[in-house]
Amino acid sequence: MASHEVTLESTIWGFTATGKLHTLSVWFILALRLMMGIAFFQSGLDKVLSGKFSAGGYLTGAVPNSGSPLADLFVAIGNTPWFVNFVNVAVPWGEVFIGLGLLFGVLTRLAAFWGAFMMLLFYFGNWDVSHGYINGDFAYMLVFLSVAAFGAGRILGLDAYIEQYEIRGEPLIERYPWTGYFLG
């Protein structure tokens, strides 16, 4: 098997990191995208179909008992009826749409951003540092960010086709480079 390595390099705050991707990397990036897509789609669909999802008790009861540094914010949200109603819709349907976006590779970076944001909120909501600051919610957040950073929607996903859709003879991604924040 011929090895075609790609070198990555990034500099942030004066620190440069470099590394080489293996030819199998593409399959692992795809696996991460699909894994998170299945997990979120299934979780959201279960909530939507049951019709029993309610965040109010969790926000006002479970979070304060977790010792979270954001407990007061979660309680304030839980005591605001219109916001609880919003969360009761946003969480299940957000999970469904994030899952679908990842499964089909559509608006992948946008889906991964919102997935990472939800996992950050879950991280602070499910606060438990008895075994350290890194838990499953934190790890999932990093997986979502990796999916976005690697442009995983271009790997057997529809984003690769959407980016090349021609508008006045020019690929969408070239005509409107800002779409790269949502696609890929």
Give the start-to-end residue ranges of the domains of the chain. 31-181
Share of the chain above pLDDT 90, in %: 65
Return the minimum-mean-pLDDT range out of 14-18, 82-86, 94-98, 111-115. 14-18
Per-residue pLDDT at 93: 97
CB proximity list for 83: less than 8 A, separation 6 or greater:
77
Q: pLDDT by residue (tens digit) across 128-179?
A: 877 778 888 999 999 999 999 999 999 999 999 999 999 999 999 999 999 9
pLDDT confidence tier of residue 4, bands split at 50, 70 and 90: low
Does residue 1 carry a pLDDT above 60? no
CB proximity list for 144: less than 8 A, separation 6 or greater:
36, 112, 113, 115, 116, 119
C-beta neighbour count of 91 within 10 angstroms? 20
Q: Mean pLDDT across the stretch 44-65?
A: 88
The residue with greater pLDDT, 46 or 128, is 46
Considering the entire predicted model, what is its pTM? Answer: 0.85
Sign of dihedral through CA atoms 165, 178, 115, 88? Answer: negative
Both structure tokens of 29: 């990036």
